[in-house]
Structure formats: structure tokens, C-alpha cells
Structure 1
Amino acid sequence: MQNKSDNTRNEIENISPILNMKRRTLSGNAGAGIFLLAFALIIIAFATPNWLVSDYRITGAKLDRLGLWVHCFRSLQDVNNDSQDRFFVGCRWVYDPFTTGYDQIRGFLMPAFMIVTQIFYTIAFIGMLISGIGVLIFILCAEPKQRYFIILINSLGYIQLGTGISAAIAVIVFACFGNRNGWMPEHANNWFGWSFVFACVGSVLSLVAGALFLIEANVHQRYRKQFNFSQSRFE
């Protein structure tokens, strides 16, 4: 009888740490924190026009700065204007339908590599928005005992990995072709701006967050298997 009581006590002690398991382990907390930083960087990079900037020390530079969706020029001549007296000055949305002649140079402003960069970084932007909803659920609502808890964390991990890969493709393409000769004027005096740096760092952090979420899902999966095994032995 004493041995049976001791065995029962041992089984209860094995189950207790599982029942008291934390909602998030270290990997989950770190993944959520890194995700928030990656979210901020990618959103800022998506919306700001500082992917390529001109040297501020060059007073006669034609380019000021440009981003994925906005171009800012100090004085860019319209090559399609026969009288050669039309210049584009200031910041404009790349698909601006109101400025005379701006749509005619869109092929120059938006070469194939720029469209590829826009597409992949937009995918990353959407992935971050979707992940943001999932992370809020993970932080505020989800519990380890819930049926879809592990599915949620796994989904966050894979979405973040996809987001990071998509953002990485965008920044690699832009890095290879964004400051090449023959696109923006005076390319030797241009450099990659802080928006581009944010995009690069955000893509790396997104990959790290994805890996941490997958580790978190694996930890909870092992806890759940251990709990099911201990419960079956207890019964």
C-alpha cells in the first residue's frame, strides 16, 4: 500500500509542473519582443522615402531622395518635353496622376527591379500585419491548454519566416540595382538611406522572430506530449 501511495505521489509531482506551465517561455517572450521591433522597422521602411538619398553636400544634385512609393527631386528635367523647360521639383507619389508629364517618365522611375522590390516588400508588409494580429492573440488571449495554441505559434513562426525571406529578397534586389549607373542621375553621389537600413535590419529580425516562435511551438509541443503521457500513466 505504501509503494502504491508513493507511486501516485510521484505521478502527481510529474504532472504538476506541466499543469503550471507558463503561457510563454523565454523563446516566446524574446520572439514577441523581436517581432515588435521588426514590425516597427518594416512598417517605417515601407512608408518612408529614404531608400536612396543624394549627398546633401552636393548643391546642384538632381535627386533628393526616393522610396518605394515616393520620389523627391531637386530639379529633374523632363526628357520628353521638346522645349526642355519642364523640371520636376519636390516629392511626388510615383503613380501621381495630376502632374503634367510625370506619367510619361514612369517607365524611367519604375524599372523592372523596382517593381520586384515593391512586390516582395509589400508581401512582407502584409505578412507583418497578419503576424501582428496573431502576436496580440498570443500575448493577450491564448493559453497553453487551448486546442489551437500550438497551431497559432507555428503559424506565427512560418509567417515570420516567409516575411523575412520576402523582405530579404526585396532589399537584395534593391541593393544590386538601386544605385547602378544609368538609373538615378549622379549615382556616384547617391547612397542607401536609413529607410533601406531599416528594411535590412527588419528582414533579419523577422527571420529571428520566426525561428524563436517555432522553438516556442516545439517547447509547448513537448510539454503537451509529456502531459498526455503522464496523464495516461496516472490513469
Structure 2
Amino acid sequence: MKTRSLAGNCGIGVFVIALVTVAVAFGTPNWLVSDYRIRGARLDRLGLWSHCFRSLPDPLDQYQRRFFVGCRWVYDPFTTGYDRIRGYLLPGFMIATQFFFTICLIGVIISTVLVLIFFLCAGPEQRRFILLIRSIGYTMLIAGISGCIAVIVFACFGNSDGWMPDHANNYLGWSFGLGVVGSVACIVCSALFLTEANIQAKKRKRLKESQARFELEYESKA
């Protein structure tokens, strides 16, 4: 039996795309960016875990005596007053985006181990070969659905009025675009691996039938 079909080989290629795009989108701070042509913009860019401000007034200080400048981790414990505006920086939709995209990344990481086993070690003669392929397919499906939920939520609320300043001059950045590509790639990868599992199951069934037919013919001749 041939180790992999075209669906399996394509699934590995699409998986590599999903792995790279999801990982880069997860760690880069360009989900929402400010128009670089606007000189007075208070936001520079933000990601899931870090924010970069040019001059953000403390939203809890009505006298605007404190401003936040530069890039910081969203859970930064060292900057004075930064912990007090965490509720402003992480509204409900942002926490939901973080949660679902983290599930997406975890699914891709788990699938990385399984895909390496599928690519380097496993073969059709092994009993759990089809189970391995299906596990990759369903894990990537969960990752893709979670990633899609994350990017849809962020697209709907990330640039809404009332959150980041100067929302009319902000737009979704390339990190968000990679998140979209990675989430879609996860679903495509899932479809390819589930197709591969179906193909391998049919091949195994045909092989067993041919072996049984050969044994019957051999016994009849004997």
C-alpha cells in the first residue's frame, strides 16, 4: 500500500501554512493598527497580548495627568497605573478573542506532533494509522473553528467606537490577516486529512478483501 495519497501530501503542505500563520498571528502586535499618516494618533498598534501607544491618556483619570507611551505586555505589572486600565484594554470581546485563538494555537501545536508522526514514522501497515489521521483531522477542525470564532469576534468589535481612540483612523492589520488565513487553513487541512483517512480506510478494506479472496482460492486449489 502507498503510504500517503495526494490528499495526505496536500494536507501536510496546508498544515505548514496553518502552523506558521497561526503562530505569527498569535505573537505579533498588529491586529489593529493606526494609520501611519495621522501624526496625532494616540494608538500605534495592538495585538492579542501587547499594546503600543503613542500617547494614550489614562481613561480613568478625568484630569488626564497620566499618559501611556510605548509598547507593553497587556499584563505588565511594572508600569504605574497600567493594571488599573486592564479592564479597558481587555473588554469581553478581547478576552473571547484571546481564548478562542489560544485554543486554535494549542490545537495546531498538538497536531504538529501528530503530523510529524504521520510524516516520519507511521505507515498503512500499522493498526492505528487511520486513527492517527482522523485525530489530526478532528484536532485541526476544532482549531479552525476556534480560530474563525476569534477573528470574527475581533472583526466585529475590534475597531468599534468607544474602545481604542481615533477608531476612524484605525484598521485591521496584517497580524489579523494572518489569523484569518491560518484559521481557514486549519479547516482546509482538516478536510484533507479526513479525506486521507477515508482513502486509507478504503485501501485497507480492499486489501483485506483481496487477501481473503486469495486465501479462499488457495484453499480451493489445495
Q: TM-score, normalised by structure 1?
A: 0.90
Query: Is 2:61 the counterpart of 1:109?
Result: no
Letter in 1 for 2:60: N
Q: Which residue of 1 aligns with 2:73?
A: 93
Q: Which residue of 2 aligns with 1:8?
A: none
Q: d(CA) in 1 for partners of 2:16 and 2:59?
A: 44
Q: How much has 1:233 moved relative to structure 2?
A: 1.1
Q: d(CA) in 2 for partners of 1:105 and 1:233?
A: 73
Query: Is 2:172 the counterpart of 1:192?
Result: yes
Q: Which residue of 2 aligns with 1:77?
A: 57
**Equivalent residues in 2 for 1:145-184, closer than 5 Å:** 145-184=125-164
**Equivalent residues in 2 for 1:9-28, closer than 5 Å:** 21-28=1-8
Runs of 4+ in 1 over 6 A off after TM superposition: none
**Equivalent residues in 2 for 1:44-59, closer than 5 Å:** 44-59=24-39
Q: d(CA) in 2 for partners of 1:82 and 1:166?
A: 38
Q: Which residue of 1 aligns with 2:105?
A: 125
SS at match of 2:132: helix
Which consecutive unaligned segments of at least 5 residues does structure 2 have? 216-222
1:228 aligns with one of 183, 208, 217: 208
Q: How many aligned positions are there?
A: 215
SS at match of 1:89: strand
Letter in 2 for 1:234: F
Letter in 1 for 2:153: V
Q: TM-score, normalised by structure 2?
A: 0.95
Q: How much has 1:83 moved relative to structure 2?
A: 5.2
1:61 aligns with one of 21, 35, 41: 41
Which consecutive unaligned segments of at least 5 residues does structure 1 have? 1-20
Q: Give the root-mean-square deviation of aligned CA atoms.
A: 0.8
Q: How much has 1:169 moved relative to structure 2?
A: 0.2
Q: How much has 1:35 moved relative to structure 2?
A: 0.4
Q: How much has 1:150 moved relative to structure 2?
A: 0.3
Letter in 2 for 1:127: G
Letter in 1 for 2:78: F
Identity %: 64
Q: Which residue of 2 aligns with 1:13?
A: none
Letter in 2 for 1:116: A
Letter in 2 for 1:26: L
Q: d(CA) in 2 for partners of 1:234 and 1:101?
A: 78
Q: How much has 1:82 moved relative to structure 2?
A: 6.0
Q: Which residue of 2 aligns with 1:31?
A: 11
SS at match of 2:193: helix
Letter in 1 for 2:59: V
Q: d(CA) in 2 for partners of 1:211 and 1:79?
A: 46
Q: d(CA) in 1 for partners of 2:129 and 2:136?
A: 11
Task: Tell me the alpha carbon deviations over residues 78-109 of structure 1, each in whole angstroms, 9 at most, x when there is no partner.
Answer: 13346532110000010111100001111110
